[in-house]
Structure 1
């Protein structure tokens, strides 16, 4: 009997291992297609079959997948986005080519281009920040003047907060424009910048599957001007009315963009005018599936794979707990001398996972995106207060030392507890 395979396009530090494990539990053989499989450590560690191929080249991927039926029955195809959002659009086209279940390619395309996405949301009357599209420094400056500082500058196509920055004054606007257009930022597409109003207020994220809102969480960020998640919690502390308003707008987003198959993630700011949509992502966000499973008992990744391979899914909640992930965020660049306490932190009752992404002697170079995190702690319990206490206790046990590049003889020790504490209000919460 031919073995059934699940094709995974590229990988993910957070979700990648979970998709591999879930596929294997379902009796599938995971195969990763990647331009550079060595960048995903879990592939070698788990003995996952990997095929090196240019994943920007749809024809090349079709060719590789066409060779597999001689050995495997391709049960389904899915993949990951960060840092290349357009990769998920190619996943949709692969599914369409092989007549397999998958998202609608034009719908994914509309989401991947943040400018087009905002145009469609605006046409449907969905509340979004004011925005302009710019292709050079002059257009960025005039757009910011029209909208009014502070503004957010971000690539029109991208993921994982790569290249996203809050510009609070003219100097920061010019600095980040130079960064984006001056050759330092790696563009996956044409150099188009979205200049966006800074919608201020608490951050919420809704996870949907099909046309159903499954979970709504809230997050806090590290210090501006970047938007690196510092802490993420499910469920969000919302009233019944607030929850319903976010759910209603989420479903309106799916209709406006032609989504409704598989997972999606809608990011919000709750402003003085209510929920404002920051972004719609036509995929499962990295790092949230574990929290949803701990909080609700719903395994989004397993249920997504079931949909991908044409089986019936089960999205019923099985319990109601609180789950929080605290990121380990360094406050300086340099050489990591040592990091310690993860084993003790993992032994704290209520801690579900402690994961380190780095080893001693690693170079720490912060870029202001999702890759800045050097690890995380996940805690869960029956209440939000208890979960926060568990997370704080575990964070107190983790510390590290970084020797700055400019002062290699003066290592600086950092306690993780300082980095797991809730961020200040004001501009830090974006």
Structure 2
């Protein structure tokens, strides 16, 4: 069992190529944003955390993986910021690989300087800087300016140049961070990347920065070009060998930074026991055919080093460039201007509208990679790109009014209350194919037309809506058919939302079952079947009766209870031929065990992985053997005997499916053996359930969804606890609606909402021939379920309608 700490969203490392995931158990601790290129289908397990720097969360994730996959044999971390925690975990678990003490000389910059100095390797004077007097003493000995930097740090974060005693007096030391001080060195900066075999250099390449990492943090471009001058490389090789021998105790990939004076003298700035950042791994892999990440992975897992013994002779020189936003983060990308004749062989560009909020070089701006026959050729291409590229951004003011783009809006009878609640909370815009009608009072002129099945079109539309906002932006949908598109848009624009992988895990019921089963979350036994005979065989294996359902539809469409082989065959046909507007059918169908007991739905708010139940609804089902939802009751539930188990199971299901941000709607059966998950949906509940929740508890799930989409923590404290119930009214037979009068029903005490769901002329066909063939919805509020039921009975009796029967 190999546990990998992973944080990149780009394809820096190809773990599946480094270790056979079918022969070994390889699991991952990562973030939702970094799931994109992981081999999820063959991974033994995946645990999501808010950050791989969250020590407590990572420890707990490793513990959970150990429970499922066995004790870890190795811990792997390839990114610099994760090295320390990986080393600590190795020590705690008594695992091979670099531990904290071994890693100290390449993570503790003061110890690093002392080790280098003891071995006679030239390095700048370095001293601890706990306070202002220590820096004053250092400057008195070495002169101004000085650099104050973290003793352990990355990417020039919190590095400050101080030019005088006056600037020092105004400087405030970071809290809880040990600092050091060094002289300001105006020399050019080089970096050397390569592989150390434990005794000497195996292979390496040197590059010259065209600016500095510190200047990049101040808004300058950062570029690097490989050096092809043999005389310079010979001098660099001598110093590099001495530095790695002084600091590295075992074979390792390394990233070394040097000062080069005007006379060519070299001084070691620092060394990292890991692949270089920015575009270095890509340049090595693309231009030189060597995967530094593969070498680092092999070193940490004890596998043979895959790098060649001699440097490859490609005859090519590489280089890279990072162009930062035009204004400091947080900011929103307005436009990206590029050279007309792009000289880079590869680039990674942020989408217009993307929120830029930092997160290392990977997410710091526009990225470019170059190759050519010489350093001069590459440098010319790089400089031309730097001059012609502009990443124009607008600042985001966290205190300014926020704007939220809703993708799709659903059926007005069912979602008007939601759009109204949203507009009360936040400045609201809308993306949908057709011009707004009933939505106009809630969105004003904040509308963009787009094909909502096209992620490119929706991304452009959402970006357009957010472009004129000076405050935070967000995107949200409550439409089941648009979840995947909206998740992809949020990923591109770096906005809080369920990730695309989590959405796929919910939308495909087969994936849901597989993921829950692998995680040991109580669900239903199931089989994936592709024809009628397979369905009947699966039913025999599972035991009749069974439920037969489509893999990816919604609203219980095509879901049937089958009690015998013939019924199973008909149910399979129903599942594979049913349709739901806007949702593609997935291959085959699912046959699963029938779960007995009452059915409930559970609405949750999920904030950075913390799952909180907002309300529980008792589901009313009708039209057996189909599973038509004919009503829902929200009532106090925390004193129910099943309350603790439901919380436990729902939380486990969210963790297994990677649901970390947003409002979710889960359905469970309270079986004799305990709560079992029927399905989990990554959206607000339908059928007015969020409205029932607000009436019963005072918690507005729509407002909570807006807060979560904006990266805020919602207030989920219920101001009261009552009961609220919706009952849907159906015709007695297939019919065309000619007239419907809810006036008398609305006047019944306890009824707070009556909703006409079938305008005159509507054809209603009962299940399984029609989709939710409802006449009207009645909503009641009371102190007890009995009060709600009484009001609904009286209101139903008061309903007046005229129907014309349809032929069967």
Normalising by the residue count of structure 2, what TM-score does the alignment of the two structures yield? 0.47
Q: Which residue of 2 aligns with 1:112?
A: 507
Runs of 5+ consecutive residues of structure 1 not aligned to the other structure: 408-430
Decide whether the 8 Å contact of 2:550 with 2:585 is kept in 1. no
Which of 404, 409, 430 does residue 11 from structure 1 map onto?
409
Q: Which residue of 1 aligns with 2:554?
A: 159
Q: Which residue of 2 aligns with 1:337?
A: 738
Tell which deviates more after alignment, 176-185 or 22-31: 176-185
Mapped to 1, the partners of 2:584 and 2:496 lie a distance apart of 26
Tell which deviates more after alignment, 391-400 or 285-294: 391-400
Decide whether the 8 Å contact of 2:429 with 2:443 is kept in 1. no
Matched, 1:360 2:755: no
Q: Which residue of 1 aligns with 2:572?
A: 177
Which of 30, 34, 37 does residue 429 from structure 2 map onto?
30
Q: Which residue of 2 aligns with 1:203?
A: 599
The CA RMSD measured in Å over matched residues stands at 2.6
- Greater Rg by CA: 2
Tell which deviates more after alignment, 251-260 or 359-368: 359-368
Q: Deviations over 1:355-381 (max 9, x none)?
A: 011122322233447632222111011
Runs of 5+ consecutive residues of structure 2 not aligned to the other structure: 1-396
Residues 283, 244 of structure 1: CA spacing in aligned structure 2 closer, same or farther, 3 A cutoff?
same
Mapped to 1, the partners of 2:526 and 2:438 lie a distance apart of 39
Mapped to 1, the partners of 2:616 and 2:467 lie a distance apart of 43
Q: Which residue of 1 aligns with 2:790?
A: 389
Matched, 1:271 2:687: no
Residues 362, 46 of structure 1: CA spacing in aligned structure 2 closer, same or farther, 3 A cutoff?
farther
Which of 704, 709, 716 does residue 303 from structure 1 map onto?
704
Which secondary structure state, in structure 1, belongs to the residue aligned with residue 716 of structure 2?
coil
Q: Which residue of 2 aligns with 1:262?
A: 662
Matched, 1:318 2:716: no
Which secondary structure state, in structure 2, belongs to the residue aligned with residue 371 of structure 1?
coil
Mapped to 1, the partners of 2:594 and 2:603 lie a distance apart of 23
Normalising by the residue count of structure 1, what TM-score does the alignment of the two structures yield? 0.85
Q: Deviations over 1:166-191 (max 9, x none)?
A: 22233332223233445877761433
Aligned residue runs from structure 1 range 223-234, under 5 A: 223-234=623-634
Aligned residue runs from structure 1 range 212-227, under 5 A: 212-227=612-627
Q: Which residue of 2 aligns with 1:426?
A: none
Residues 359, 15 of structure 1: CA spacing in aligned structure 2 closer, same or farther, 3 A cutoff?
closer
Which secondary structure state, in structure 2, belongs to the residue aligned with residue 97 of structure 1?
helix
Decide whether the 8 Å contact of 2:727 with 2:777 is kept in 1. yes
Instruction: Kindly report structure 1 stretches of 4+ aligned residues shifted beyond 3 Å.
Output: 1-5, 41-52, 66-74, 179-187, 236-240, 366-370
Q: Which residue of 1 aligns with 2:335?
A: none
Mapped to 2, the partners of 1:246 and 1:314 lie a distance apart of 22
Q: Which residue of 1 aligns with 2:452?
A: 55
Matched, 1:21 2:416: no
Q: Deviations over 1:258-314 (max 9, x none)?
A: 213211122111122121111111221112111111111100111211221234421
Which of 508, 521, 543 does residue 148 from structure 1 map onto?
543
Which of 443, 465, 476 does residue 78 from structure 1 map onto?
476
Which secondary structure state, in structure 2, belongs to the residue aligned with residue 215 of structure 1?
strand
Tell which deviates more after alignment, 162-171 or 261-270: 162-171
Which of 110, 125, 145 does residue 520 from structure 2 map onto?
125
Q: Which residue of 2 aligns with 1:194?
A: 590
Decide whether the 8 Å contact of 1:217 with 1:236 is kept in 2. no
Shift of 1:44: 6.2
Give the number of the structure with larger relative contact order, counting CA–CA contacts within 8 Å between residues 6 or more apart: 1
Tell which deviates more after alignment, 398-407 or 305-314: 398-407
